[in-house]
Amino acid sequence: MPDSARFALHRPEIGPCLERGDEAVARLMAASVRTFDAGTAIIEMGGEHDLVHRVRAGWVSRVRPLPDGRSQIIAVFLPGDLFGVKSMFVTRHVDAVEAVSEAVVECIDQRALRDAAARDFDISVRLTWQVVEEERRLHNWVVGLGRGNAEERLALLLLDLRGRLALAGQIDALATEYDCPMTQQQVADLLGLTNVHVSRVLRTLREEGIAMMRAGRVQITDLARLEKLAYPLQDLFEHAEPAFGRHGP
Amino acid sequence: MPDSARFALHRPEIGPCLERGDEAVARLMAASVRTFDAGTAIIEMGGEHDLVHRVRAGWVSRVRPLPDGRSQIIAVFLPGDLFGVKSMFVTRHVDAVEAVSEAVVECIDQRALRDAAARDFDISVRLTWQVVEEERRLHNWVVGLGRGNAEERLALLLLDLRGRLALAGQIDALATEYDCPMTQQQVADLLGLTNVHVSRVLRTLREEGIAMMRAGRVQITDLARLEKLAYPLQDLFEHAEPAFGRHGP
DNA sequence: CGTTGCATTGAGTGTTGTCAAGCTCTGTGG
DNA sequence: CCACAGAGCTTGACAACACTCAATGCAACG
């Protein structure tokens, strides 16, 4: 699946390292592949668990339900992403992880992965990249939620998903449409809005001829204007720039 | 400075490990202590740098200014916190780090720290703890920004700062007041609000006899009600639970 | 052919932002 | 000692944005 630029980096020498690490991780996990229906829990909230997961196909989300019924999606994981890397250091997890679409997920015991990382430097690079990349995305997301209005957040989301799907090799880098299995309620929980308002903002984007999101598919009809909308929230340095080259052996 | 519970954990056997690691890090950094005036930049935005920092005294913030003048504070670091740990893996940083109050900060080259971590397991535990803890805080913050109203966010902030200052040994664990050098504008940038609205919400908290924030000092006058306000956003498992006990030597 | 889940729309409300003015406090220079 | 400037905080009037509630539409599916 991953061709050349599965991991886009400013330090090109790391690319092959990450590629190999990713393949090695996938090989290690190949023994334990499971499929989850859309909407089912992959990791229960509040439980203890010792597994590091990797998305093989489908979309997955980290969700925090509030005691009063509200809920917030904290992150979305796409094919190729690792999640629960934190399991290597923390046993108890406060949020649930759910399948957004039908999802194929593989996993490995955190201890076995740690041993593998100790033996194979590529694997440890791959793990670290995931953590650093995740923190970068969280920072961007805090900015979007804190300072973006509904239109800006939605524009940012559509572009972010496009970019990540392209990196994951799911779509062409220049593609202007892609499948998106999220319901409007899920988009709302991710953007910190209500489903009703998401519907309204989508309507204006549609009427303006900028983008459409319908029947599980996103179509960007005016990329330039969409980017202009999201511009204030955009991370100017699109991708992290790991300095693994400096690592000793 | 740090007495018993500088690091509150569910796995008590890690406590000493973190204590020792923290002291070791502080010792390593003792050579390069600098003082910054309130409002000055510690790390410039967009620059490259190879330093991992530690706050010795004062408050520090990671801030992302938007091109149109808005800005969002992504994180606040208190005495004892490490920041820029990411420097060990990434050279370019997209946000600035600024002193909120006059701040005393020490630092070390990321490479030297990595070598030290390889030699001293306590140090690597301390570093990992910082990263995991930071991710946990970001997750909580995304929930607060996405789903909390102004009052809930402010209540959460006041309690969060209190808890962290207590862990940092700056105040007593049961203290109901503490110094807070942030201006209302900074609080607004942190909470994703305007300074005007922060002022309004503070007034209601004051009028209700719940809490006050004036002249650089926070006084919580009705802790129970403040906690009730923040309750929906509260992380039910207050502190991370590192599984370092599983580590091999 | 209902039922169910999701999306859409409208009307009314509430929270938060904007703009602008005035206030308090502090430090500075006359 | 006073006048002044500046920064930060407060307040009010108003506008904008997003939410709530409720009704309807529209598929997919049994």
Task: Give domain B8-147's CATH number out of 3.90.640.10, 2.30.30.100, 2.40.37.10, 2.60.120.10.
Answer: 2.60.120.10
Q: Which nucleotides in chain C lie less than 7 Å from some protein C-beta?
A: 6-10, 15-20
**CA B161, CA B166: separation in Å to the nearest integer?**
8
Residues in chain B: 249
pLDDT, one tens digit per residue, over A176-203 is 999 999 999 999 999 999 999 999 999 9
**CA A32, CA A99: separation in Å to the nearest integer?**
17
Q: Do A147 and B192 touch (CB under 8 A)?
A: yes
From the list A178, A194, A143, the residue with the least C-alpha distance to A59 is: A178
What's this model's pTM, rounded to 2 decimal places?
0.91
| Structural contact between residues B7 and B15, judged by C-beta atoms closer than 8 angstroms | yes
Q: Which residue has the higher pLDDT, A216 or B118?
A: A216
Beta-bridge partner residues of B218: B178, B213
Confidence of residue B38 (pLDDT cuts 50, 70, 90): very high
Q: Do B64 and A10 touch (CB under 8 A)?
A: no
Burial of B108 (0-12, 13-18, 19+ CB in 10 A): buried
From the list A88, A26, A37, A93, the residue with the least C-alpha distance to A60 is: A37
Which nucleotide across the nucleic acid strands is nearest to A213, CA versus C1'?
A: C7
- Per-residue model confidence (pLDDT) at position B5: 52
* Strand D reaches within 7 A of the B196 CB: yes
With b for 16 or more beta-carbon neighbours within 10 A and e for fewer, the A47-63 pattern comes to eebbbbbbbbbbbbbbb
User: What are the residue boundaries of the structural domains of chain A, listed by start?
Assistant: 1-147, 149-235
Written out in words, the top-level CATH class of the domain with range A1-147 is: mainly beta
- DSSP class of residue A48 equals B
Distance of residue A139 Cα from the nearest chain B Cα, in angstroms: 6
- Per-residue model confidence (pLDDT) at position B248: 36
Identical fold at B8-147 and B149-235? no
Task: Give domain A149-235's CATH number out of 2.40.50.1070, 1.10.10.10, 3.40.50.800, 3.90.209.20.
Answer: 1.10.10.10
pLDDT, one tens digit per residue, over A90-133 is 777 789 999 999 999 999 998 899 889 888 888 988 888 888 88
From the list B161, B150, B178, B176, the residue with the least C-alpha distance to B75 is: B161
The residue-averaged pLDDT of A26-45 equals 93
pLDDT, one tens digit per residue, over A145-177 is 999 999 999 999 999 999 999 989 999 999 999
Cβ neighbours for B68, distance < 8 A, ≥ 6 positions apart: A232
pLDDT, one tens digit per residue, over A7-28 is 554 455 667 778 898 999 999 9
Distance of residue A6 Cα from the nearest chain B Cα, in angstroms: 18
